[in-house]
Amino acid sequence: MATKKFRCKVCGYIHEGDSAPANCPMCQAPSSEFEEIVDDNSNTGSSKKKGLNTNGNSYTIAYSAIIVVIVAFLMAFVFQALKKRQDDNVALDKKKQILAALNIRDLTNIQAADQYTKVITADEIINAAGKSVAAGTQGGEKDGFKLNSADYKAGKLALFICKVNGHTKYVIPVYGMGLWGPIWGYVALNEDKNTVFGAYFNHESETAGLGAEIKDNKAWQMQFNGKKLFKPNSKDIALSVLKKNDVKDKTTQCDAVTGATLTSNGVSNMLKDCLSKYKVFLNDK
């Protein structure tokens, strides 16, 4: 017959025998202070099923994996649930930037959406030969509006045709690199395809108070108004940004942002590179 084990609850002494001792040999506690130790691995000679070991590495790994899967599922669900709202916000911000190039600024979200629908008569797509690839629609959001810098590099050129106070305007998106990352913007032209009606620029990570002024300084953007894309009798883009002391032709040259030479150079290069893609269209009077 298997020997039983008893533990003293006072001092922890373990006694082996058929019953607890009358007194603990270590602390003299009475037998009432002993408790029988039950072996979880046996029951009348047969093995019991072991319980889950929550202290083992396997349990920790399995638990962590389950939590990761649950969290990933929840994040994917939330992303999908919010994706349309995020896409709508991105589209609305783009509309505001295009309107800003048309000197239509400081609008609420509702006003911006309404004005864009009224002002944009077509979001056309053209190619480098000036030929229309897609005609676009009133308040366009499906053709040129969907294009990005990758499409521009592939030869698909967005062209927003607009009506402002009864006059036709053309808005051209431009893409480039600043000091720390991508920069972009929109240049609005009068019907002559040569005179700048307005401009708006944005950035991803330019320095606040310096390069970021291309977005934050409305007065700096407004200096583009009235500038010419071309010099007389030339078909090459002349619109540029230079240090103030280097500006010689105020009809085509704009002052750089003070203390942000590299970002300003990025804007200048962006204007020449991107607007040159539209030269055939712009020179077709």
Local confidence pLDDT in tens for the 285 residues of the chain: 557 888 999 988 888 888 889 999 988 989 999 899 886 554 444 444 456 666 667 778 888 899 999 999 888 888 888 788 888 899 999 999 999 999 999 999 999 999 999 999 999 999 999 999 999 999 989 999 999 999 999 999 999 999 999 999 999 999 999 999 999 999 999 999 999 999 999 999 999 999 999 999 999 999 999 999 999 999 999 999 999 999 999 999 999 999 999 999 999 999 999 999 999 999 987
The label of the residue with tokens 């002494």 reads 13
- Taking alpha carbons only, the member of 98, 130, 125, 123 closest to residue 112 is 98
The pLDDT, as a whole number, for residue 1 is 52
Residue 67 burial (CB < 10 Å; 0-12/13-18/19+)?
A: exposed
Q: Are 267 and 214 in contact (CB under 8 A)?
A: yes
Rounded to 5 degrees, what angle do the CA atoms 198, 202, 208 make? Answer: 120
Pairing of strands 240-242, 253-255: parallel
- Taking alpha carbons only, the member of 205, 17, 219 closest to residue 103 is 219
DSSP label at 23? B
Q: Are 153 and 141 in contact (CB under 8 A)?
A: no
**Domain residue ranges in the chain:** 4-37, 89-283
Q: Torsion-angle region of residue 237: left (phi > 0), alpha (psi -120 to 50) or beta?
A: beta
Residue 2: HSE in the Cβ half-sphere, 13 Å Cα cutoff: 10
The pLDDT, as a whole number, for residue 43 is 46
Q: Are 98 and 202 in contact (CB under 8 A)?
A: no
The pLDDT, as a whole number, for residue 80 is 82
**The CATH classification of domain 4-37, taken from the options 3.90.1150.10, 2.60.40.1180, 2.20.28.10, 3.30.1490.110:** 2.20.28.10
- Taking alpha carbons only, the member of 152, 159, 114, 151 closest to residue 135 is 159
| Residue 73: C-alpha distances to residues 69, 76, 86 (Å) | 6, 5, 19
Q: How far apart are CA 100 and CA 80, in angstroms?
A: 31
Local structure of 88: helix, strand or coil: helix
Q: Are 187 and 171 in contact (CB under 8 A)?
A: yes
Rounded to 5 degrees, what angle do the CA atoms 190, 191, 196 make? Answer: 20
- Taking alpha carbons only, the member of 159, 271, 161, 162 closest to residue 214 is 271
Q: How far apart are CA 209 and CA 47, in angstroms?
A: 76
Q: Which residues pair with 175 in a beta bridge?
A: 184
Number of residues that this document lists for the chain: 285
- Taking alpha carbons only, the member of 95, 108, 106, 104 closest to residue 160 is 95
